[in-house]
Amino acid sequence: MFDWFKKKSPPGNGPDFSEVDSLAKAEELFRHGDLEKLFLMPLEFGGQDIPQNILFVPIGIAAIKSGIDNNVVGPLATEGKISKYTAMPEYQGKSFVPIAIKIVASDPGEFTTTINIWGEALTRDKNAPVP
């Protein structure tokens, strides 16, 4: 009856994938539709569908990265403004699900962005440098 007097927990900072501490667990969540495949080097840019190029991320993150790759990085490459590309995952603890992915396209110009996914990446200062 007097629940409004109880202290409420602060809202969470997104999903928690800290228990996904093995490739087998990530693949199981993928099979159940809880995670999706993301290609570090996009297939459109010559990346391959091989384990070294695949991350497992929450649903929707691959579409965000694809949008950046196809709508920002691709046109920059076509215009000759960049010729190098890297996508670097950042992890927290032993989780196989990255907390963030930093995309850097460069030479001669430069474009850098970070996709924050979960954990510490969601709480850090937006102006702080990403490792």
- Whether 11 is in a domain gets the answer no
Q: How many domains does the chain have?
A: 1
Average pLDDT, the chain: 89
Percent of the chain with pLDDT over 90: 82
Cα gap 89→3, rounded to integer Å: 42
Alpha helices for 1-131 (secondary structure H): 23-31, 61-68, 74-78
- Whether 10 is in a domain gets the answer no
- Whether 5 is in a domain gets the answer no
Q: Identify the pLDDT of residue 88.
A: 97
* pTM across the whole model: 0.84
- Whether 61 is in a domain gets the answer yes
- Whether 30 is in a domain gets the answer yes
- Which tens digits make up the pLDDT trace of 32-60? 999 999 999 999 999 999 999 999 999 99
- Which tens digits make up the pLDDT trace of 53-80? 999 999 999 999 999 999 999 999 999 9
Q: Is residue 81 scored above 90 in pLDDT?
A: yes
Which residue, 120, 119, 58, 108, is CA-closest to 83? 108
- Measured in degrees and rounded to the nearest 5, phi and psi for residue 119 equal 65, -145
Cα gap 96→113, rounded to integer Å: 21
Q: Identify the pLDDT of residue 127.
A: 54
- Which tens digits make up the pLDDT trace of 113-130? 999 999 999 998 665 555
Contact 32, 41 (CB under 8 A): no
- Whether 74 is in a domain gets the answer yes
The boundaries of the domain holding residue 48 are 19-122
Q: Which helix (H) or strand (E) holds 121?
A: none
Residue matched to tokens 């297939």: 43
Query: Structure tokens of 8?
Result: 């409420």
Contact 56, 29 (CB under 8 A): yes
- Whether 58 is in a domain gets the answer yes
Query: Structure tokens of 61?
Result: 């993150």
Between 130 and 102, name the one with better pLDDT. Answer: 102
- Whether 63 is in a domain gets the answer yes
